[in-house]
Amino acid sequence: MSDYLKNGYLTLEDISPPDMERLEKGPVAVIECVQEIPCNPCSDSCHRGAITMKTSINDRPDIDYKLCNGCGICVANCPGLAIFLIDQSYSETEALVGLPYEFLPLPEAGEKVMLLSRQGEVCGEGVVQKVRNTRAMDRTPIVFISMRKDLAMTVRFFRR
């Protein structure tokens, strides 16, 4: 574990991301929730039973990547904005990353944005491909941004 409480951000060593074989199969949720707090909308909302809390609501969520189909319902239901969608199968050269986004105005498809890492550092440029914002998704918009494949596990926010 990194010293995320002191640093204020997570690193890859704090999470258990899917392996490359799963990432390349299609969209999948990546959970970046490390604190033991009484919270479980992620597991309650997943109709495929992919997310479980091992022994109690205070546990960190555990995800079975084989069951996850990348529908995004848990992303919209997480009050901590701690779940992201990664699709490494998007194209030969680009990944599509879905980020929960609770600011207005919402970006529109075609908009170019600056990509930010977990630390808030600019790490490239991406293009908004779509914004999903429906009642079924609890009205938390998910912004889908195409970017270089190698950035998909680094980018976790964007600047307009």
Shortest Å distance, C-beta 13 to ligand SF4: 18
Residues in the chain, overall count:
160
| 129 within 8 A of 112, measured Cβ to Cβ | no
∠ CA 12-117-91, nearest 5°, is 85
Least Cα distance to 29 among 62, 80, 76, 69 occurs for: 69
Contacts of ligand SF4 in 22-51 (CB under 6 A): 29, 31, 33, 39-42, 45-46, 48, 50-51
C-beta closer to ligand SF4: residue 83 or 115: 83
| 65 within 8 A of 25, measured Cβ to Cβ | no
Q: Is 83 in the site for ligand SF4 (CB under 6 A)?
A: yes
C-beta closer to ligand SF4: residue 22 or 148: 22
Least Cα distance to 75 among 99, 93, 107 occurs for: 99
C-beta closer to ligand SF4: residue 84 or 158: 84
What's the CA gap between 30 and 55, in Å, rounded?
A: 21
| 44 within 8 A of 79, measured Cβ to Cβ | no
Q: Is 142 in the site for ligand SF4 (CB under 6 A)?
A: no
Give the range of 7-15, 73-81, 100-108, 127-135 binding ligand SF4 by CB under 6 A.
73-81
Shortest Å distance, C-beta 23 to ligand SF4: 13
Shortest Å distance, C-beta 102 to ligand SF4: 14
What's the CA gap between 88 and 158, in Å, rounded?
A: 19
Shortest Å distance, C-beta 142 to ligand SF4: 10
Task: Give residues in contact with ligand SF4 (CB under 6 A).
Answer: 29, 31, 33, 39-42, 45-46, 48, 50-51, 61, 63, 68-74, 78-80, 82-83
